[in-house]
A and B are shown apart, each in its own frame.
Chain A
Amino acid sequence: MKFLATFFSQRSAPLALLLGKLFARKVVLAAALVLALVVCVATFVPWLSEADPNSIMVTERLFAPSWVHWAGTDELGRDVLLRIVHGARYSLLIGFVTAAGAVVLGTLMGVLAGFFRRLDAPLMRLVDAMMSFPDILLGIALVSILGVSLWNVMLALVIVYTPRVARVVRAATLVLRELLFVDAARALGVRTPRILWSHILPNLMSPILVQVTFIFAYAILAEAGLSFLGVGVPPDVPTWGTMIAGSLEYSDRAFWTILFPGLAIVLTAVSLQLLGDGVRDLLDPKLKKAV
């Protein structure tokens, strides 16, 4: 928490003003509201309602959208909207854990590579090598090796996205390292770990925040892709990806089983990226170029 305090105290504007500037653009505000809505629905509806997203109603198979089932029912008579709401929990969980994991590991790698000349070449060649695999290809290879499960999908996606963060953080660290306040701190006898923790890291918060929103979005998309290929989350866990994958065979007759979960993915991913773009526009101009 001290971190956030330093982060905000170093900005001339207080938090409220910063947020005011962020939400001055109506699109960004709308994106934030959509995300808040998605999070609230995902958190509270399954908690308030007893309805089971996996309850099978054989008599109500593949019903078209109606007043009873707003988004229709799937091949087992399960309510699509209810499953989208429950699926939001898993999809958001996957997005969040992946973004958090990749950002922690990537920041560590990026700061080390950017700050210590000696580590730069080996770490960055490793990053180059990892980034020469296409995301989804590396993802399916990793999941197939780790085994199909919710946690393994997140682990695989963390590995896939860590190099991205490392590259961005390294570029920003290279810029920061040369700035006067780092020299000043060193001249005053501040030790290296402390320089990294209290001078470099707080200034990396904005680019990191941008990466969090983007990787969050990419992870939701990637999970859907992996589940579609059969190397994602097990089919009984209702994520937006497994819902589409599970109803594939019925896409001709019951298009709504595929349409609505996909729309949920698109809406969430667009909102996350809009928010990320908004944060990027607020960036420190010194770092803007590096990021």
Chain B
Amino acid sequence: MRFLLKRMAGATVVLVIVAVLVFLLTRLASGDPMALLLGDQATAVDIAKARTQYGLDKPLPAQFALWVGELLQGNLGQSIFLQRPVAQALLERAEPTLFLALFAVAIAALIGVPCGMAAAIWRGSAADQALSGLAMLGASIPSFWMGLILIQFFAVHLGWFPASGYGDPGMGLGQRLYHLALPAMVLGLLNSALIIRFTRASMLDILGEDFVRTARAKGLPERVVMVNHVLRNALVPIITVLGLTTALMIGGTVVTETVFNLPGVGNLVVRAVLRRDYPVIQGTLLVIAGIYVFINLVIDLLYTLVDPRIRLESS
């Protein structure tokens, strides 16, 4: 229980720092968003009026207090350009991003876990080296470049998949996923690199344990040792990294969504950045960082449930 409270307190502190950073980040920016919003025709008086309306004329600490007060009531502010609350804009854009991230994690796991296991089991073999090499290659390819190449090959050349977009509104889930196939492949393939490395490392850790030697010594078939003893124990860290990958992927979709012109959160934030729509940038950064912190916390708590040793160590 003490461990639980300590972890939650830590996560809260991190969230507060995140909020301060997000706030400072957008307020230190140059360029007046009000001048941008009102256009060339606006007079100085108009701009001053708009600044008062959005609370931009108050001193920074006051602005921060105002902002946090609204946040605690679930209000992320009003987009300057979209004429709607930031929370609403985010919700409208959440679906493609969420589906894309989950789809991509599924692909990454389906490739990464078996490959990582194979690399660990046949450690030092040609297969292991080839897989490690592939993993490194995956970490060296720019996602947008790979997206462009896949579009060129699978969409333009072969015509198997749509090159961009998320289909017409009202289409079924199948059609949606079909539109997400190429972007999910990009993110999944590139992120499987991390999963391969991680699976291999945690399998190797477990392979060195005494109980594996014992299992072998008592004559269990190698297959049983691998599945029941090694994989089961290695699964905890592997699930952790899958969780973290999901969290990271939600932010990692920014570039991919732009390449494939998907109407997701990434697309929203890129446009907001280009137009200096501060409330949208703030809201998105905050929500994504919040999700990351939350997933991290959940993983830590799950860990203690699965493995009581961790609870004992920290108290």
Question: Which chain A residues have a beta carbon within 8 Å of chain B's beta carbons?
Answer: 27, 125-126, 128-130, 132-138, 140-142, 144-145, 147, 217, 221, 224-225, 228-231, 241, 244, 248, 251-252, 255, 258-259, 262, 265-266, 269-270, 273-274, 277
Among B73-81, B179-187, B220-228, B267-275, the one that faces the other chain is: B267-275
Query: CA–CA, A133 to B17, complex, Å?
Result: 12
- CB-CB < 8 A to A266: which residues of B? 137, 140-142, 145
- CB-CB < 8 A to B64: which residues of A? none
Cβ 8 A contact of B289, one of A132, A140, A230: A132
| A133 in contact with B289 given A125-B13, A140-B254, A225-B144 (CB within 8 Å) | yes
B293 at the interface (CB under 8 A from A): yes
Q: Are A262 and B145 in contact (CB under 8 A)?
A: yes
B292 at the interface (CB under 8 A from A): yes
| A265 in contact with B17 given A134-B254, A270-B140 (CB within 8 Å) | no
Q: Which residue among B10, B15, B139 has the maximum number of chain A CB atoms within 10 Å of its CB?
A: B139
- 10 closest A-B pairs by beta carbon, nearest first, are A134-B251, A269-B140, A129-B17, A262-B145, A145-B29, A132-B289, A144-B273, A132-B292, A270-B140, A129-B18
Q: Are B273 and A231 in contact (CB under 8 A)?
A: yes
Of the A-B pairs whose beta carbons lie under 8 Å apart in the complex, a sample of 25, sorted by A's number, is: A125-B13, A129-B14, A132-B289, A132-B296, A134-B252, A135-B251, A137-B254, A140-B269, A144-B274, A144-B276, A145-B25, A145-B29, A217-B139, A217-B140, A228-B142, A229-B270, A229-B273, A230-B274, A231-B273, A252-B156, A258-B145, A262-B145, A266-B142, A269-B139, A277-B136
Query: CA–CA, A133 to B293, complex, Å?
Result: 10
Query: Interface residues of B: mostly helix, strand, loop or mixed?
Result: helix
Closest to B255 in A: A225
Cβ 8 A contact of A229, one of B21, B137, B254, B292: B254
| A137 in contact with B140 given A144-B273, A224-B145, A265-B145 (CB within 8 Å) | no
Q: How far, in Å, is A29 (CB) from chain B's closest CB? A: 15
Query: CA–CA, A27 to B130, complex, Å?
Result: 11
B26 at the interface (CB under 8 A from A): yes
Q: Are B292 and A228 in contact (CB under 8 A)?
A: no
B240 at the interface (CB under 8 A from A): no
Q: Are B28 and A136 in contact (CB under 8 A)?
A: no
20 extra interchain contacts, Cβ-Cβ under 8 A, other than A141-B281, A144-B276?
A: A125-B13, A126-B17, A129-B14, A129-B289, A136-B251, A136-B255, A141-B26, A145-B28, A145-B29, A217-B139, A228-B142, A229-B258, A248-B148, A251-B152, A262-B145, A265-B142, A266-B137, A266-B141, A273-B139, A273-B140
Q: How far, in Å, is B240 (CB) from chain A's closest CB? A: 16
Q: C-beta contact mask, B62-106 vs A, less than 8 Å → 1, else 0?
A: 000000000000000000000000000000000000000000000
- CB-CB < 8 A to A273: which residues of B? 136, 139-140
